[in-house]
Structure 1
C-alpha cells in the first residue's frame, strides 16, 4: 500500500489540533485515521491525540486476524471509534481543563477489494479515480442539515458563518452515533482522508486535478494539496492522508 500522511498548522492557528496516523497490520489490512480536535486552550489537540491512540490500539489489538470479513471490519471500526469516544469523554468529565473537548474522526480499514469507512463530524473521505472524485462521507454539521432541508444552497453553505458548527462529535457525549460503510475498491483508486482545513480551502475539482496527475508521487500530491490550502488562506490546520494499493509497500507514518 502506498501511503502519504501530511499535516500543517496553517497560517492562522497557534497550535495544530489535527492528528493522523497510517499503519499496516501483518494480515495486509491497512488502517488510517484523521482527527480534528476542538475545545478551549489545548483541549483540541489532546482530544485528537486521544482519539488516534484509542483507535490505533483498538484496531491493532483486534483487526490483525487472518481473513477479516467485511462485517467484522465494520464492527471493529465502530468499536474503535466508540472506545475513542469513551476515552475522551471520561477525561473531559474528570478534568475541568478539558471540559467540552471533542474531535472529528474519519477512519478507514482497507482490505483487498473494499474499504470500510467510519466517521463522525466534518472530516471527510473521498474516493478518486483518474476521472472522478466521490465524496464518501456526509458532514455532521449544522449547515449540511440546512442544505439537506433546502434552507441553504451548496454555495451559501460554503461561506456560511456557522459552517464549522458540528451536530455530532467524538467525546462530547457518553455515546455517539457513528456512520460506517463499505465501498468497493480497485488498485488504481486513491482514498483521500482530510480535515476541513483542506475542504474549506480547496475545491473538489482542484483535488481531482492534483491526485489524477500521473507525474507526481503520492507524497508529492499530498504536499501539493496542503500547499493549495495554504495559498487559499490556510485559516485552519490542514491534514491530508492519501492511500493507493501497490504491491510490496509497507510503511507507517504519523504526523502532528
Structure 2
C-alpha cells in the first residue's frame, strides 16, 4: 500500500506567568509529516539547552532519513520509521548527556520529548517523560501516551485517583528523561489515521493547568482554526495560573489517500 497524507500544522509556546524563561522547545517538519516537542529541566537555563538540543538533533536525523523524493516516501513502512524515530531519540540522549557531563553550567540537565510522524495510514508516537500526545476524533479527546512519572505509577497501582492526581505535589517527578543516563528507554506506538483527526502534542505546563474536559471543549470549538486554537489553549493555561511554560503542537489530517494505483501504473 502507498499513502499520501494532507496535514495542517500549527504550534505555539509560551513562558507562562511564573517562569522567567522558556525551557520548552518545538520543531515542526511539515514537509515530512513530523513534529517534535520537548520540555527541558536542569539548572539555570540548562533546561532550555537540553530541549533545544534534543528537538534539533531529532529533527535533523529524521529529516536526513526522510529526505528522499516524494514518490519514494509513499511506500515508507512504519517499522522503518519507528526504528529511525528511536534512533533519533537515542542520538539526542547521547548529545544531551555529553553536554551535561562536559559543561558545568549544564550539569544534570535533561528533557522530556514526544515525537509524532506519519507513515502510510498510521501515526507513530515516540515519547520519553511526561510530555503528551492526544487525539480528537468525532469530538472525543483521547490521551495516546502514558506518562513516565512517579504519579502515573501511583495511578497505575491504584494508590491515588485521577481527581487526587491533579493536585498532587509530585506530578512533575518523571521516571524517564533524555540526557540523564547513558541509555534511554523510548516508548513508541502506532495509531491508525483517519481523515479529520486532530492531534495535539503538549508539555505538562498545559495539562497541569487545564483538565481533560477543558482541553476537549477548546479543541472541539476551534478544530477549524488551528492557530487560534493554539493561542486559546495557551491563554487558558495562563489564565488558570500559568505556573509553568506551556507548549502546543496541533496537526489535523485532511486526507489519507491510498495511492497504490500510482505505484502499479508506474510499475513500482
Give the TM-score band, short-chain normalised: over 0.9
In the TM superposition, residue 20 of structure 1 has moved relative to its aligned partner by 0.3
Q: Which consecutive aligned stretches of 4+ in structure 1 deviate over 4 angstroms post-superposition?
A: none
**Within-5 A mapping of 1:1-256:** 1-25=7-31, 29-65=32-68, 66=72, 67-213=75-221, 216-246=224-254
SS, match of residue 212 in structure 1:
helix
* Partner deviation per Cα, 1:194-244 (whole Å, 9 max, x = no partner): 000100011111111111125751111111111110110000000000001
- TM-score, scaled to structure 2: 0.88
Contact 1:116–1:182 (CA<8 Å) still a contact in 2? yes
Could you say if the C-alpha distance between residues 152 and 56 of structure 1 is closer, same or farther in structure 2, counting changes exceeding 3 Å? same
In the TM superposition, residue 133 of structure 1 has moved relative to its aligned partner by 0.8
CA RMSD after TM alignment:
1.3
Could you say if the C-alpha distance between residues 215 and 162 of structure 1 is closer, same or farther in structure 2, counting changes exceeding 3 Å? closer
CA distance in structure 2 between the partners assigned to 1:222 and 1:113 by the alignment: 25
Could you say if the C-alpha distance between residues 188 and 212 of structure 1 is closer, same or farther in structure 2, counting changes exceeding 3 Å? same
In the TM superposition, residue 79 of structure 1 has moved relative to its aligned partner by 0.7
Contact 2:14–2:22 (CA<8 Å) still a contact in 1? yes
Which residue does 1:253 correspond to in 2?
none
SS, match of residue 128 in structure 1:
strand
Between the two proteins, the alignment pairs up a number of residues equal to 244
Question: Greater helix share, 1 or 2?
Answer: 2
Contact 1:3–1:243 (CA<8 Å) still a contact in 2? yes
In the TM superposition, residue 165 of structure 1 has moved relative to its aligned partner by 0.6
Q: Which runs of 5+ in 1 are unaligned?
A: 248-256
Q: Which runs of 5+ in 2 are unaligned?
A: 1-6, 256-268
Which has the higher mean CA deviation after the structures are superposed, 177-186 or 153-162?
Answer: 153-162
- TM-score, scaled to structure 1: 0.92
SS, match of residue 205 in structure 2:
helix
Contact 1:74–1:116 (CA<8 Å) still a contact in 2? yes
CA distance in structure 1 between the partners assigned to 2:96 and 2:227 by the alignment: 31
Which has the higher mean CA deviation after the structures are superposed, 146-155 or 221-230?
Answer: 146-155
* Partner deviation per Cα, 1:84-117 (whole Å, 9 max, x = no partner): 1010001101111111100000110023421100
